[in-house]
Chain A
Amino acid sequence: MFLSHIYLIPLFPALGAALMFFFGRKLRKPTVSAVCVGSVVLAFLMSCGAVLEYTTWAAEHHHQPYEKILYTWLGTDTGHLNYLKSDGTEAPLQADAGFLLDPLSSIWLLFVTGVGMLIHIYSTGYMAHEGGYYRFFGYLNLFMFSMLTLILANNYVLMFVGWEGVGLCSYLLIGFYFHRKSASDAANKAFIVNRIGDAGFLLGIFFIAWYMGSLRFIDVTHAARSGQFAIGDPIITAATLLLFVGACGKSAQLPLYVWLPDAMEGPTPVSALIHAATMVTAGVYMVARSNALFVLAPKSMLVVAIVGALTAVFAASIGLVQNDIKRVLAYSTVSQLGYMFLALGVGAFSAAVFHVFTHAFFKALLFLGAGSVIHAMSGEQDMRNMGDLHKRIPTTHATMFIATLAIAGIFPFAGFFSKDAILWETWSREGGAYRILWCVGYATALMTAFYMFRLMYLTFHGRPRMSHDVEHHIHESPMAMTLPLVVLAVMSLFAGFLGWPHSLGGSDHFTKFLEPVFAGEAQTLSEEGRAAQLASGEKEEEKNTGTEWLLMGLSLAAAGIGWGMAWRSYRHADKGYAEPIANLSAPVYTTLLNKYYVDEGYDYVFTGRRQVGDVRLGVLGAGEASSWFDTHIIDGAVNAAGSITRGTATFSSWWDKWIIDGIGVNGPAILARMLSYPARLFEWGLVQWYALVMTAGLVGFAFYYVYH
């Protein structure tokens, strides 16, 4: 029942959004909240029902994905619209309005609707005193609709529709305070940078359609696993790399990560929902969805892994010194997304999905907690002006502390399991390159613990550094905000247990649940001979367990060291406290504080907002050149065409005015007017004249008949 009506899941938020756009202005705030929160609650309940129903359905159907196709919306289902495939045969161009439910989309469905619902509830408290309440909730519902379309799509084109939809909503919500220039700039930046990625994604889709002959995930996966394509196939490598460019844009990986930190201009619930928990994981989803293609392209996988690891350490290092509480979390998000791509790149798809899942909870919790802190601090976001809040807002402190333990990877919080799964999988891929990536990931884990505990100590401990005015107003947030915090804290604690690894005596339900989606991948990887542990026997398994324990101990140690360093440096932070990194090396500190000057570099090289000497480079000079081409050639042609048009028009106008109108139209009219003067004498409008004429006529007739 739920499964066959799966299309209702995105429909509920769509209806909510439509209602807000058409009637929102007239509705009162409680109505708006009821409609928009209600639609997401319905979607969540539907999702739970659908996933439950799917698990029983799948047990009877060999763990196939469930596909529900409503109709064909692009192309025709009769096959009349064909295109030429790479091998010279024809394939029908066809994209359905179809929905696909399998373990992978189930997981996304559950946490997107679940976390989305909590954030909607939180927003009713957070946005209570803001203008544009209905607009905000309309956008949020539209976002939920797009995200659910992205997740449930059964083909690349419909997924792209959702992909663009979430991009649009991200743009709208980052620019929610559009009267602030920084916010509208950030919105534009996010949109434009995402566009670069989208171009890659779109080209990737074209490649897939051209090479595989279908856009449906099931068909593509089936074709990729059928063995008709060789491992390392250059076209598939190109296609997967292009898909990964798309993922880089949406999921904020190097070098397209720059929009995400700026996206913090949006309201905090938006940062939590879109820029931490759900939308930014769309790239991971897309790569995981295309896993069958990626395993055929080891080079792409290596690129994914390297980019992921570099992003992880790069963003984490920037996060070490940022002072804005939301920016720290933003860089942390970029860094954690890097982890996920590292996992995807080493072929540990289920570990990546697991990290997405746990990350959704603790990162949403951190952002919502930060929102609660900002709420308490009357809008202050700079951690230098905070301190000693733990007694004043105890619920926020307690829940954020749990989230910090989770992200730092302390046993047994959720982050420990997912992060260790990633590090372990990286380590166990054979080959020197992967060991280096492991080291990078390990360093990131240490940095993560440091910057997160730095955030906690600066915000909640040390000496109070805010002004008296602000201090006076500090208050715990309302129930609508603290309740989601508590629920997310519970999830941050327990979500990891779903993937309790075998080495610790668990049974790793999470990986088992995802097995049907990634089953073919293990096969291919072991054929490749690069995942020896999958093919090896018992003996090696035992040896590995020891190594796994050692690695777990090491990462716990890293988390402990990071925590300890933060504790030492910031525990007593008072006004004008010293940054340890600045003490160590001032240039390094400045570089990190300025985010490696990447934005400035992009301004010089790509956007042309900063000049090099007298020249605005802009996309490596292409901007300047195309500007010249535009003003001289294009505009010249335009102007020439304009002049010719104007000359012709002048003549045409003269001709029309004097010849056509003058002789042709007005001439007969003037003639008629002159001829009509005598006739007008009888008709000059006076009633009594008419009466006189009538009387004269009557008298005339009378005389005629009498004397005739």
Chain B
Amino acid sequence: MLHITTLHYLVLGAALFLLGVIGVLTRRNVVIVLMSIELILNAVNLNLVAFSRYWQGIHGPTALHGQVFAIFVITDAAAEAAVGLGILIAFFRNKETVNVDEVNLLKW
């Protein structure tokens, strides 16, 4: 039976992160883009929790900073999702579309 080390978690996190980045960069639907951002954030959370566990092994069970931080990130992700969906609705009302490539006003 293979022992799961921190490195495993980090590899999984990196894979999730990469998936998220690819999603953000390639998908046209804003909803999917937002979901991909969630993926990135969760990859980060995974890293944080993994390192927290690593630190627990060295400093004892009270070293919970990484896990607390992960909870903050989850809260932040919820807020960001709310704002993102709000923008999405305003965007749809104006443009009648949810595709990011049909909006190119973010220039001058």
**A interface residues with partner B (beta carbon < 8 Å):** 680, 683-688, 690-692, 695
Contacts and interface: CB of A to CB of B under 8 A. Distances in A.
A686 B105 CA distance: 8
Given A686-B100, A686-B101, A691 B107 contact: no
A691 B104 contact: no
Interface string B70-107: 00000000000000000000000000000011011111
A695 to B, nearest CB: 6
Contacts of A680: 107
Contacts of A685: 103-107
Nearest to A687: B100
Contacts of B26: 688
A680 B21 CA distance: 24
A684 B24 contact: no
Given A691-B24, A691-B25, A692-B25, A684 B108 contact: no
B107 A688 contact: no
Contact residues of A: prevailing secondary structure: helix
A684 B108 CA distance: 9
Contacts of B25: 688, 691-692, 695
Contacts of A686: 100-101, 103-104, 106
A684 B21 contact: no
A698 to B, nearest CB: 9
A695 B21 contact: yes
Interface string B17-51: 00001001110000001000000000000000000
Contacts of A695: 21, 25
A202 B25 CA distance: 88
Interface string B60-76: 00000000000000000
A686 B106 CA distance: 7
Contacts of B103: 685-687
Contacts of B107: 680, 683-685
B100 A684 contact: no
28 contacts: A680-B107, A683-B107, A683-B108, A684-B104, A684-B107, A685-B103, A685-B104, A685-B105, A685-B106, A685-B107, A686-B100, A686-B101, A686-B103, A686-B104, A686-B106, A687-B100, A687-B103, A688-B24, A688-B25, A688-B26, A688-B33, A688-B101, A690-B106, A691-B24, A691-B25, A692-B25, A695-B21, A695-B25
Nearest to A692: B25
A685 B24 CA distance: 16
A695 B22 CA distance: 10
A691 B100 CA distance: 12
B100 A688 contact: yes
B47 to A, nearest CB: 15
Contacts of B100: 686-688
A676 to B, nearest CB: 10
